[in-house]
Structure 1
């Protein structure tokens, strides 16, 4: 990607309406990337909660009453019959049975993957912010130049 100086030079060649449209496009991209980061953070939190729940499974909890989620808002009573194996939601309605240790590894691997994606999106977001700042700076310079030109033509008359 071009440096800030190079970008400003390229933006100087564009008329104000195009710069405004470009700024609006970047605003939309910033909103999209921010929303994506938020969604990834929510998924990361859910995975971390699942990982933390695994640590509560032990021989003492076997046979205890629990609430089993059928949907995000519907739970039914049940008994914990097997503390060594769990069902993991792997997406799109598919579940996989894993032992607790493998489930823990799975959740940690997914959390690490999400962290990597969040880092990538954060870098992109920062670049877009810099780009927007460059565009806004050029727009301000062009508006100032137009105002000065208008003032000089008014002063001549």
Structure 2
């Protein structure tokens, strides 16, 4: 009964590919969320450059949808995360350029992840098709044996 073993192997391969695709899809979602966050920071800094007041008032989020009123004491510099828990102070233009580069890196990672996901989904489809063909062959061989 070789075809039963082949079918079991295909079913296992299908499950493995599905699990890999699910992980990639989750990774893609995280990449998109992180990119959106960096984009928001960049836009915030770009808008801050347009503010004419020397010490503009802002709302500082403190959690649970609550805020405190605050004042920006230095609107020419920003402290940006550079990864691994480190942050550096940069002037606004350098901070924006740094964030634009991060966005480009996210775009590249998102593109590669989408390609890998499409490739995996194609493999999943091929395995499913093989399994279906094998099942049809089995069904035909059973009906012939009567």
- TM bin, normalised by shorter chain, reads 0.7 to 0.9
Q: With structure 1 as the length reference, what TM-score do the two structures score?
A: 0.82
- What CA distance in whole angstroms lies between the structure 2 residues aligned with 1:88 and 1:69? 17
List gaps (5 residues or longer) in structure 2: none
Q: With structure 2 as the length reference, what TM-score do the two structures score?
A: 0.87
Residue 55 of structure 2 aligns to a residue whose secondary structure is: coil
Q: 1:50 and 2:41 equivalent?
A: yes
CA contact (8 A) 1:16 1:139 kept: yes
Q: 2:114: which partner in 1? A: 122
Deviation of 1:92 after TM superposition, in Å, equals 4.3
- What CA distance in whole angstroms lies between the structure 2 residues aligned with 1:104 and 1:72? 28
How many residues are paired up? 142
List gaps (5 residues or longer) in structure 1: 1-11
Deviation of 1:89 after TM superposition, in Å, equals 2.5
- Superposition RMSD in Å: 2.0
- What CA distance in whole angstroms lies between the structure 2 residues aligned with 1:139 and 1:131? 12
CA contact (8 A) 2:59 2:68 kept: yes
Alignment partner for residue 56 of structure 2, among 64, 77, 80?
64
Deviation of 1:73 after TM superposition, in Å, equals 5.8
CA contact (8 A) 1:61 1:83 kept: no
Q: Provide closer, same or farther for how the CA distance between residues 40 and 132 of structure 1 changes in structure 2, counting only shifts above 3 A.
A: same
Q: 2:123: which partner in 1? A: 131
Report which stretch shifted further, 124-133 or 60-69.
60-69
Q: 2:93: which partner in 1? A: 101
Q: 2:31: which partner in 1? A: 40
